């Protein structure tokens, strides 16, 4: 699965990409929404891991703009906000899932498994 990781923290973007590669994904990384949009245009992306806080930008707003595009890939948000604060808003805006920091590899694996099952059902 081709996965785009969008996070303004270079360390977290890098380690998330390495972690996803160990789970069998091909990864691309972006540190802001402009880079993410460019990669979405240039690559076939099947899922997006998107941080809610992207420096001065909002991942939630970017999620909304993505959901308005036809055939946009599913988005998994990650955030350090309290679960109830963001999870509901993420779901309302059409996120596939939401990871709450601090998270680990198993949390990602679990969501990726759900995503793969959902894709299998859809096809």
**Closer CB to other proteins, 59 or 123, in the complex:** 59
Please give the full DSSP string across 78-107, using - where no structure is assigned: EESS-HHHHHHHHHHTT-SEEEESS--HHH
What six digits make up the tokens of 73?
């890939």
**Closer CB to other proteins, 15 or 72, in the complex:** 15
What six digits make up the tokens of 56?
């001065």
**Interface of this chain with other proteins, residues 17 to 76, rule: CB under 8 A:** 18-19, 21-22, 53-58
Cβ-proximal residues to 14 (8 Å cutoff; 6+ apart), any chain: 29
**Interface of this chain with other proteins, residues 76 to 115, rule: CB under 8 A:** 78-81, 101-106, 108
Is 123 a binder of other proteins (CB under 8 A)?
no
- CA-CA distances (angstroms) from residue 100 to 35, 63, 86? 24, 16, 9
Distance in Å, CB of 121 to other proteins, minimum: 28
Under the rule (CB under 8 A), what is the footprint of other proteins? 9, 11-12, 14-16, 18-19, 21-22, 53-58, 78-81, 101-106, 108
């Amino acid at each position: 699965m081709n996965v785009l990781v969008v996070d303004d923290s270079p360390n977290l973007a890098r380690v998330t990409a390495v972690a996803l590669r160990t789970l069998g994904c091909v990864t691309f990384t972006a540190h802001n929404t402009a880079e993410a949009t460019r990669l979405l245009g240039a690559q076939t992306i099947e899922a997006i891991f998107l941080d809610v806080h992207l420096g001065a930008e909002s991942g939630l707003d970017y999620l909304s703009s993505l959901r308005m595009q036809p055939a946009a890939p599913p988005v998994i948000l990650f955030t350090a906000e309290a679960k109830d604060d963001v999870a509901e808003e993420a779901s309302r805006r059409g996120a596939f899932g939401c990871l709450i920091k601090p998270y680990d590899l198993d949390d990602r694996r679990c969501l990726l498994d759900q995503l793969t099952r959902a894709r299998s059902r859809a096809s």
